[in-house]
Amino acid sequence: MKQLLVFIRKEFYHVFRDRRTLLILFGLPTAQIMLFGYALSSEVKNINLAVVDFSKDIATQQIITKIQSSSYFNLQQSVLSYADMERAFREGKIRAAIIFPTGFNDDLRHVNKAQIQIIADASDPNTATTITNYLTGIIGDYQQQINAAAALPYQIQTETRMLYNPDMNGSLNFIPGVLALILMIVCTTLTSVSIVREKELGTMEVLLVSPFKPILVLIAKAVPYLVLSLLDFALILVLAVFVLDVPVRGSVVLLFAESTLFIICCLSLGLLISNITASQQVAMLASMMGMMLPTILFTGFMFPLENMPLPLQLVSNIVPSRWYYLIVKAIMLKGLGFGAVWKETVVLIGMAIGLLGISLKNFNIRLA
């Protein structure tokens, strides 16, 4: 036991001696969480919209004013023709166009029926759908306005409540996601490099000839990173709460306990990568290039997991951050207790034990 403590202390010295790496370790996640917290949101705003108005009458003016007053759209200078509109689409200057045919107001007043055409740039299909929905909604409002004189009977009114996020804070969903993502990549990469580095520099031999069990070597290597990662987590949490206004509705203690579990899981994954790779370069490429995009996609904060084809949904199950993200969301945003996250917790514990087991088995006592 005393030996282990001495060993851990040595590893701590190693880590803390390298000031620049430390600065990077704390500076980068801080900057990232701030940046993404403010910048990312799933809302669609400020859409560049072209108006092609062949009618130019009072009704089209009224509709245009209505569109202008919503924060969703940036009205571009009215384009005069279809050709102008097409060019604007190809140059990427507009995302959508709204077209009023000639005689719009006349049709509206005399025939009680008029037409509007919306064209959306569906190279981004989701935004296109959202834009079409917004515009249809605004036009629907206008239609109700002109029909208001004849109040309609048999009306169903809907009342919508926004659960957990009454202010529609766009970053609320992204903070737990980015948190899971950063912790996962940073922890895994750090550990994956630590052992392979000793192999590469040749210091591993020294460790292995010492009368020290391999498992203790691994533990000693992992402890400083566990501490660092927990500090990182605490820092991000403080920023999220006090700067980005993300609430912590549930128990902070539970949140820390679950985060520790998740970090242990990532450290084990890092150890595994470290064991099966031969150089720092390969270890880092594997943990960053190989894991970054899959982690972003399979954590579930960007794209709904249930939309994925079944085989990919199964794949998402083996990504630890997916479970951690669910836990963070439940505790932080929904204010739920352990009863709501026990399943996810069991999965993470299983992963940590499994990964550690495989790492230990693969941990070669003799080097090639």
Partner 1 sequence: MRILKFLLRKEFRQIFRDKSILAMIFAMPSIQLIILPLAANFDVKNVNLAIVDNDHSTYSQRLISKVGSSGYFRIIEASHSFKEALHTVEDNRADLIMEIPAGFERNLVREGSQKLSLAVDAINGTKAGLGGAYLSRIIGDFNGDVRLQWIQPGRFNEATVIDVTSSNWFNPLGEYRFFMVPGILVLLLTLVGGFLSALNIVREKEIGTIEQINVTPIQKWQFILGKLIPFWVLGMIVFTIGLLIARLVYGIIPVGSLATLYLFAGVYLVALLGFGLLISTYSDTQVQAMFVAFFFVMIFILMSGLFTAIDSMPPWARAIAYMTPVTHFIEVVRMIILKGSGLADVTRQLLYEVGFAIVLNGWAIWNYRKTN
Q: How many residues bind partner 1 (CB under 8 A)?
A: 120
What is the spatial distance between Cα 15 and Cα 27, in angstroms, rounded to a whole number? 16
Task: Out of 241, 248, 254, 296, name the contact with partner 1 by CB under 8 A.
Answer: 296
Per-residue x/- mask for partner 1, residues 163 to 202, rule CB under 8 A? xxxx-x-x-xx----x------xx--xx--x---x-----
Work out how close the CB of 296 gets to partner 1 at its nearest, in angstroms, rounded to a whole number: 7
Asked if residues 65 and 111 have their Cβ atoms less than 8 Å apart, the reply is no
Per CB under 8 A, contacts with partner 1 among 213-272 are none
User: From CA 66, how far away is CA 137, in angstroms rounded?
Assistant: 11
In order of 50, 56, 71, 87, 307, the CA distances from 80 in angstroms are 10, 11, 24, 12, 41
Asked if 18 interacts with partner 1 (CB under 8 A), we say yes
Shortest distance in whole angstroms from residue 263 CB to partner 1: 17
Closest distance between partner 1 and the C-beta of residue 1, in Å? 30
Which of 11, 121, 198, 232 contacts partner 1 by CB under 8 A? 121
> Between the CA of residue 14 and those of 150, 202, 228, 275, 303, what are the distances in Å?
79, 16, 13, 20, 40
> Applying CB under 8 A, which of residues 4, 75, 118, 226 lies at the interface with partner 1?
118
- Least distance to partner 1, CB of residue 300, Å: 9
Site string for partner 1, 320-339 (x = CB under 8 A): ------x--xx--xx-x---
Burial pattern 69-88, b for ≥16 Cβ within 10 A else e, equals eeebbeebeebeeeeebeeb
Long-range CB contacts (< 8 A, 24+ apart) of 208-213?
A: 208/365, 208/366, 208/367, 212/3, 212/7
Backbone angles phi, psi at 327, to 5 degrees: -65, -50
Q: How far apart are CA 365 and CA 208, in angstroms?
A: 6
Residue 164 Cβ vs partner 1, minimum distance, rounded to whole Å = 5
Q: Which stretch binds partner 1 (CB under 8 A): 204-212, 255-263, 285-293, 345-353?
A: 285-293
Q: Select from 2, 307, 366, 368 the one that contacts partner 1 (CB under 8 A).
A: 307
Is residue 3 classed as helix, strand or coil in its secondary structure? Answer: helix
Sign of CA dihedral 16, 21, 22, 23: positive
Q: Specify whether the CB–CB gap between 88 and 41 falls below 8 A.
A: no
Is residue 304 part of the contact set for partner 1 (CB under 8 A)? yes
Among 75, 227, 284, 360, binds partner 1 (CB under 8 A): 284
Beta-strand relationship, 47-53 and 96-100: parallel
For partner 1, which residue of 51, 53, 60, 95 counts as binding (CB under 8 A)? Answer: 95
Task: Report the residue from 13, 16, 303, 342 that binds partner 1 according to the rule CB under 8 A.
Answer: 303
Task: Tell me if 81 contacts partner 1 by CB under 8 A.
Answer: no
Least Cβ distance, residue 222 to partner 1 (angstroms): 16
In the complex, the smallest distance separating the C-beta of residue 359 from partner 1, rounded to whole angstroms, is 19
Taking CB under 8 A as the criterion, the residue among 51, 64, 67, 128 binding partner 1 is 128
Amino acid at 229: S
Report if residue 69 touches partner 1, rule: CB under 8 A.
no
First to last CA, the chain: 30
Complex with partner 1: residue 3 or 136, whichever CB lies closer: 136
Quote the CA–CA distance of 20 and 97 in Å, as a whole number: 51
